[in-house]
Amino acid sequence: MSTANRQIHLVSRPQGEASVDNFKLVEAPLPALADGQVLVRHHYLSLDPYMRGRMNDAKSYAQPQPLGTTMIGGTVGVVVESRHPSFAAGDSVVGMGGWQEYSVVDGGAAGMLRRVDTTHVPLPAYLGAVGMPGVTAWYGLTQICAPKAGATVAVSAASGAVGGVVGQLAKARGCRAVGIAGGTGKCRFVTDELGFDACIDYKQHRDAKSLAAALKEAAPNGIDGYFENVGGMVLDAVLTQMNAFGRIALCGMISGYDGVPIPLSQPQLLLQSRLLLQGFIVSEHMQLWPEALKELGGAVAAGKLKYRETIAEGLAATPEAFLGLLKGRNFGKQLVKLV
């Protein structure tokens, strides 16, 4: 086993768009384990849009990522050495080890490390459909959109790790699922592989009016629940098609992650249609994770919940893969493979 640990640190704040210059690959020695600690060799890193917000030194729901430290992020891997009774060498685990090859974890800290069963669910799926993105989809759909059978549910970034799960869960509940994604290939995947009823390629529409017309055709009975990942023109278009008393789960606003304001063009629609728009952070609802993970894990194991992954190879590829994610270059869940 190596005695050195390679890490990706955040070394500067982005000015506008993030760049590779904001990151630095460093090497640090692996410390000896103290009692209660666990050493994990990461096999995959998770890359997620929320990380862009953490790079800014600005008020948000979480503290900014400190400069000169390992970038935050979800990880799956295998225990190499353990000095905690709950973990043994060889255990497959999921945690928040960050952008590095190894992590030393307090085995007794709540929520820091969880053993997982890879018999029927592949290890990397615990960073996607059976991990934080999947639970995010489950929470926003079931707890905020709360759709009933026969309702229409729309979701932006529909081919992504979160959006793809939203539509499939909606279909399982008897709903019509309408996706919005960028590119004909992604839209074809959303309908043909994930089973959505329709998918609109936003790249084919230059403005909110054009996109709204396409939505009206895809959702002739209007939209009852909307899961928002993008904001901007997409949200403007969807608001015009929401039914009275519709519900919107506000998960992400990736169109504004570089600090550019994204005002609503017609905020009066929130009032006119008596809409509920609720933002949420899934880590604030840990009490519901077991229920969500049970449904998600069972569906993946049974082959009923489908997903796609884009995998970058090696720790050094992490910054470029992350920047690609922010530009929509990934297809499905973006991972980095380390082993």
Distances (CA, A) of 244 to 65, 223, 240, 274: 40, 9, 11, 6
Sign of CA dihedral 121, 123, 128, 134: positive
- For residue 321, the one-letter residue type is A
- Residue 304 confidence (pLDDT): 97
| Count of positions (residues) in the chain | 339
- Residue 281 confidence (pLDDT): 94
**Cα–Cα distance, 6 to 311 (Å, whole number):** 19
**Cα–Cα distance, 100 to 88 (Å, whole number):** 21
Query: In order of start, what are the domains of the chain with their CATH numbers?
Result: 4-128+307-337 (3.90.180.10), 132-283 (3.40.50.720)
- Residue 1 confidence (pLDDT): 62
Nearest in space to 31 (alpha carbons), one of 83, 92, 73: 83
Nearest in space to 304 (alpha carbons), one of 137, 171, 199: 171
**Cα–Cα distance, 121 to 85 (Å, whole number):** 25
73 dihedral zone (left: phi>0; alpha: psi -120 to 50; beta): left
First to last CA, the chain: 13
Nearest in space to 178 (alpha carbons), one of 133, 238, 134: 238
Say which residues have a Cβ less than 8 Å from residue 308's Cβ, sequence separation at least 6.
Answer: 159, 164, 189, 193, 331, 332, 333
What is the edge-to-edge ordering of all strands in the sheet holding 4-10? 23-29, 4-10, 69-70
CB distance 103 to 82 below 8 Å: no
**Cα–Cα distance, 121 to 305 (Å, whole number):** 11
Say which residues have a Cβ less than 8 Å from residue 110's Cβ, sequence separation at least 6.
Answer: none
Distances (CA, A) of 165 to 59, 96, 157, 182, 252: 30, 22, 11, 17, 15
**Cα–Cα distance, 262 to 160 (Å, whole number):** 21
pTM of the model: 0.92
**Cα–Cα distance, 164 to 32 (Å, whole number):** 42
Q: Which residue has the tokens 């929470």?
A: 139
Nearest in space to 53 (alpha carbons), one of 280, 227, 253: 253
Q: Let me know if 196 is exposed, middle or buried by CB neighbors in 10 A (0-12, 13-18, 19+).
A: buried
CB distance 151 to 125 below 8 Å: no
Q: What is the pLDDT along the chain (339 residues), one digit of tens a residue?
A: 678 999 999 999 999 899 999 999 999 999 999 999 999 999 999 999 899 989 988 777 778 999 999 999 999 999 999 999 999 999 999 999 999 999 999 998 888 899 999 999 999 999 999 999 999 999 999 999 999 999 999 999 999 999 999 999 999 999 999 999 999 999 999 999 999 999 999 999 989 999 999 999 999 999 999 999 999 999 999 999 999 999 999 999 888 777 778 889 999 999 999 999 999 999 999 999 999 999 999 999 999 999 999 999 999 999 999 999 998 899 999 999 999
Q: Let me know if 81 is exposed, middle or buried by CB neighbors in 10 A (0-12, 13-18, 19+).
A: middle
Distances (CA, A) of 32 to 71, 83, 104, 124, 204: 22, 11, 9, 28, 56
